[in-house]
Amino acid sequence: MNLRLLAWKSLSSRRSTAILTVVSIAVSVVLLLGVEKIRVNAQSSFANTISGTDLIVGARSGSIQLLLYSVFRIGNATNNISWNSYQAIAQKRGVKWTIPISLGDSHRGFRVMGTSKDYFSFYQYGQKRNLQLTYGKPFDDTFDTVIGSEVARSLQYSVGDEVIISHGLVSTSFSEHKDKPFIISGILEHTGTPVDRTVHVSLEGIEAMHVNWQGLVKKRKDGKTLTEANLKPDSITAFLIGLDSKIMSFKLQRYINEYSAEPLLAIFPGIALHELWSLMSVAEQALLIISIFVVIATLTGMLAVSLAGLNERRREVAILRSIGASHWHIMGLLITETLLLTLAGILLGIAILYSVIGLSQPIIETNYGLFIPISLPNEREFIMVSILLLTGFVVGLIPAYRAYRNSLADGMSTRL
């Protein structure tokens, strides 16, 4: 007796219930695997925010706080780093390159970051990918600016447009540097990182912007007035370090953390990223638990439908017994039906999930900086699907056993 063919015909006779069951399983599979894909790719994107940087240096605070404001442009530094300290560390033996960072201003809700041209040469993200310009070139003039792709898209900017920098970090500011507009010299390619939401200017531009701001002359600590020829900053917010050899990392970190001129902190970006992601693991696990409960609710509903239909199927079971089906054939039939429903739901769910990913991929990448590739299920996803299929088999045992008991109670004990 071909149980698969018999189960298929039996399900076809109850197609409305079968379709609803398959759809409910498919929805739970979409949610379960969807959450897993978002989790994996979000973690990968998160870890790839910065690459190729050996140390991040800022004022002494916490490693996560330093990572947030220096890389993710979130929050503020507790203090700045003096320019003299920055130069002293930058000139240490074994330091290959440094990228200074100066924060504190904004443009229509986007952070403004002062830096040097080395930023475009040495800053890396992803798998050691360098920044590339879609249009224009890096800043040459004091009042040039290079903007991220998200800034250009949201504000509909192009090369040559003017940008008015605001003092502070609010999206609407009455303290604008209207007397010193910046001109967009370049637009960076999309990276899926905070770079996309940053307005980049030179350190000299940051200093020049504050000269004679609101009728006041900005003076250095030594009392000398800033001029176009003397626009080096007194201090910066943080800086990134690349070394000639990874072996130097721990030695230089210890030197910076014990720096006597001022309290500084040097962190390894990879370790800090791991610590930050660990703080978000509660939300990550909560989403996974919700998805698991949805799957359990779906399988419970399938079980309830199967048990509720047993009494209506007594006639079908009796006919099968009368033509020679044994108790084990009846059990096998019901288990096969459950497995077919579960397998169909899984396949439909995977098809829906990949269709949704394919359609929404550019939207998610543009708006959230998260790229979700269309790839074969990974090992963890395959285990999830296998457990779901096994659970479907276990769920099928319950109505199968009930049908077995019912057939005995009905006195159908015909032998083959």
Residue 318 within any structural domain of the chain: yes
- The most confident of the ranges 28-37, 219-228, 330-339 is 28-37
Could you give the 3-state DSSP secondary structure of residue 2? coil
The pLDDT assigned to 39 comes to 80
- The most confident of the ranges 98-112, 267-281, 397-411 is 98-112
| Inter-residue contact 239 to 63 (CB < 8 Å) | no
112 and 185 co-located in one domain: yes
**CA 154 – CA 183 distance, rounded (Å):** 17
178 and 234 co-located in one domain: yes
Out of 210, 233, 267, a domain closes at 267
Residue 334 within any structural domain of the chain: yes
- The pLDDT tens digits for 344-358 are 889 999 999 999 888
Element (H, E) at 95: strand 95-107
227 and 127 co-located in one domain: yes
Residue 354 within any structural domain of the chain: yes
Out of 232, 267, 302, a domain closes at 267
The pLDDT assigned to 228 comes to 47
Which structural domain range is residue 202 located in?
55-267
**CA 146 – CA 198 distance, rounded (Å):** 9
Confidence of residue 314 (pLDDT cuts 50, 70, 90): low
Residue predicted with more confidence, 154 or 48: 154
Structure tokens at 173: 């500011």
141 and 214 co-located in one domain: yes
Count the Cβ atoms, other than its own, within 10 Å of residue 126.
18
**Number of domains observed in the structure of the chain:** 2
Could you give the 3-state DSSP secondary structure of residue 167? strand
- The most confident of the ranges 54-63, 178-187, 297-306, 386-395 is 54-63
156 and 34 co-located in one domain: no
Residue 80 DSSP class:
-
Confidence of residue 123 (pLDDT cuts 50, 70, 90): very high
Between β-strands 182-188 and 238-243, what pairing exists: parallel, antiparallel or unpaired? unpaired
Structure tokens at 223: 């009392």
The pLDDT assigned to 10 comes to 66
Q: From the centroid of its chain, how far is CA 276? A: 13
Structure tokens at 11: 């399900």
Residue 415 within any structural domain of the chain: no
What is this structure's pTM?
0.70
The pLDDT assigned to 198 comes to 94
191 and 62 co-located in one domain: yes
Residue 272 within any structural domain of the chain: no
The pLDDT assigned to 259 comes to 92
Confidence of residue 290 (pLDDT cuts 50, 70, 90): confident
Out of 239, 267, 295, a domain closes at 267
254 and 358 co-located in one domain: no
Residue 319 within any structural domain of the chain: yes
167 and 203 co-located in one domain: yes
9 and 70 co-located in one domain: no
- The most confident of the ranges 47-51, 54-58, 411-415 is 54-58
Residue 416 within any structural domain of the chain: no
The pLDDT assigned to 229 comes to 47
| Inter-residue contact 291 to 35 (CB < 8 Å) | yes
The pLDDT assigned to 328 comes to 60
| Burial 323-337, CB ≥16 within 10 A → b, else e | eebbbebbbbbbbbb
The pLDDT assigned to 327 comes to 61
87 and 153 co-located in one domain: yes
229 and 286 co-located in one domain: no
**CA 177 – CA 174 distance, rounded (Å):** 9
Residue predicted with more confidence, 207 or 201: 201
Q: At what angle do helices 15-47 and 379-409 cross, to 10 degrees?
A: 160
Query: If you average pLDDT over every residue of the chain, what do you get?
Result: 81
80 and 212 co-located in one domain: yes
